[in-house]
Amino acid sequence: MNDRFAKTPQPHYYAVIFTNQLSEDDAGYAEMGAKMFELASNHPGCYGAESSRDSSGLGITVSYWKDEESIAAWKADAKHLVAQNSGIERWYSHYELRVAKVERAYQGPKGRSV
């Protein structure tokens, strides 16, 4: 298991699923994305995040949270960061954000230590 996986506790906890398509004009995005990821990961109540983006610019980031209150506090901070960088409409051609309560979790493959 490498550090690209979040170290989440036993359920229940919350997941924020952010699926997004980068625009062709993505100047400044890489830096902003990294800042946002760091902001979430270090926020109180955050258990970590997992993120992948393919060569077509489709990305999925899932961050994991203790409770709704932690998500709300992070959202307020994220709004400040986005406002400072005023770019969300330009960077993303579309995004879907879903907040979900994790009820069950498994990991594998069984017997692998990696």
Binding of residue 97 to a copy of itself (CB under 8 A): yes
Binding of residue 52 to a copy of itself (CB under 8 A): yes
Closer of 8 and 85 to a copy of itself (Cβ): 8
Q: Please check whether residue 22 is in contact with residue 57, taking contact to mean a CB–CB distance below 8 angstroms.
A: yes
Site for a copy of itself, residues 13 to 32, rule: CB under 8 A: 15, 17, 19, 21
DSSP symbol at 9: -
DSSP symbol at 40: H
Which of these, 72, 102, 112, 91, lies nearest to 26 by C-alpha position? Answer: 91
Q: Please check whether residue 28 is in contact with residue 90, taking contact to mean a CB–CB distance below 8 angstroms.
A: no
Binding of residue 101 to a copy of itself (CB under 8 A): yes
For tokens 């060569």, what's the residue? Answer: 55
Binding of residue 37 to a copy of itself (CB under 8 A): no
Cα–Cα distance measured from residue 102 to residue 68, given in angstroms and rounded to the nearest whole number:
12
Closer of 11 and 28 to a copy of itself (Cβ): 11
Interface positions with a copy of itself (CB under 8 A): 1-2, 4-6, 8, 11, 15, 17, 19, 21, 50-56, 58-60, 62, 88-89, 92-112, 114
